[in-house]
A and B are shown apart, each in its own frame.
Chain A
Amino acid sequence: MRARFPIVRGVAEQTASAETSGNSGEKPDAAVVRDALGVGVAVGLSGFAFGVTSAGSGLTLLQTCALSLLVFTGASQFALVGALAAGGNPFTAAAGAFFLGVRNAFYGLRLSQLLALPRAVRPFAAQWVIDETAAVALAQPTRRAVRVGFAVTGLSLYALWNLTTLLGAVGAEAIGDTEAWGLDAAGPAVFLALLAPMLRSAIDRVVAGLAVVLGLGLLPVLPAGVPVLVAALAAPVVLWAQGRRGAAADDDVRGTER
């Protein structure tokens, strides 16, 4: 659990510890709702940062709100507006955002077993399958609690994220020069805050380091939006290299045994 949902690790830990006071796996709905609202409200407010960043990147109010309504996965939204602001073509920009969203498929996989939703309901639940709903839902002890946690986190986060996106975008347009207010630093700070809890093993840090080198090094020579996609290759390359080293180590062991 902790290894798979690093982004909201702190939240998951809090939720897990909150539940130890309960008896024999049962957890009152009120406690689940409280956990879920805590996450939904805290993260939902971050829509301000997105609205401001998106407006500062030159997107219209309608475009900014459409992203929060339709895409609804924060890192992908920030990545897309960043890539568009840097002058990337729409498809390379979308590709970076898409790859960041792929992790949600794995949350969905775990959630579908625990939520056990009828197939007809799944297309409606799908939009809420993100880091935060997964972290809250997967920390619950019973199916009922999983469902309540998922629904309350999803609803509160979706409502607030979209509302604060709108307010942030309107605010940024009123402010005018967002750079004078340092608001262009919000985007990279968001990425850093998402990244930091993921950097636990040496492999994580090697991948991150290689990605930084590729992302910055290729920036002057490749078209906008492409360097970040090449940097993403750091993940499979490091995994592959690690697999080879593991295989070589196995061979060594076998060699000494022989």
Chain B
Amino acid sequence: MNIWIAIGVTAVGCYAVKLIGLLVPEGVLERPFVRRLSALLPVALLAALTAQQTFADGRALVLDAKAAGLAAAALVLMTRAPFLIVVGAAVVVTAGVRAMAG
């Protein structure tokens, strides 16, 4: 049930912000501070999420095979490879490290 609540709230919220952009008159959201904040919010959120999903297991900090996978993804990113290749590298290296360790 909780999951459905989360899905419902997220769906309504995300749709609302998309629609607001199309409906509000020009100029309302164009204040420099608001614009810069909207550009920086994803940076903060994505950085925190990347770190947490790599180094956290529940509420404990861990260093496991995922860290190697992420390092591989970072290397592949530098070659400007397509999105799926980046994700694939992380998956393959993580699985490989686990297979060798286990």
Contacts and interface: CB of A to CB of B under 8 A. Distances in A.
A53 B14 CA distance: 20
Nearest to B4: A63
Q: How large is the interface on A (under 10, 10 to 19, 20 to 34, 35 or more residues)?
A: 35 or more
Q: How large is the interface on B (under 10, 10 to 19, 20 to 34, 35 or more residues)?
A: 35 or more
A70 interface: yes
Task: Give chain A's interface secondary structure class.
Answer: helix
Interface stretch (A17-25, A77-85, A247-255): A77-85
Interface stretch (A27-35, A100-108, A138-146, A155-163): A100-108
Task: Give chain B's interface secondary structure class.
Answer: helix
Interface string A164-204: 00000000000000011111111111111111101100011
B46 A102 contact: no
A235 B40 contact: yes
B83 to A, nearest CB: 6
A40 to B, nearest CB: 13
Contacts of A91: 5-6, 9
B30 A220 contact: no
A96 interface: yes
B44 A207 contact: yes
B6 A80 contact: yes
Contact of B91 (A126, A186, A216): A186
Interface of A: 3-4, 6, 10, 42-43, 45-46, 48-49, 59, 63, 66-67, 70-73, 75-76, 78-80, 82, 84, 86-87, 89-91, 93-94, 96-109, 111-113, 117, 119, 122-123, 125-127, 129-130, 179-196, 198-199, 203-204, 207-212, 214-216, 219-220, 224, 227-228, 231-236, 238-239, 243
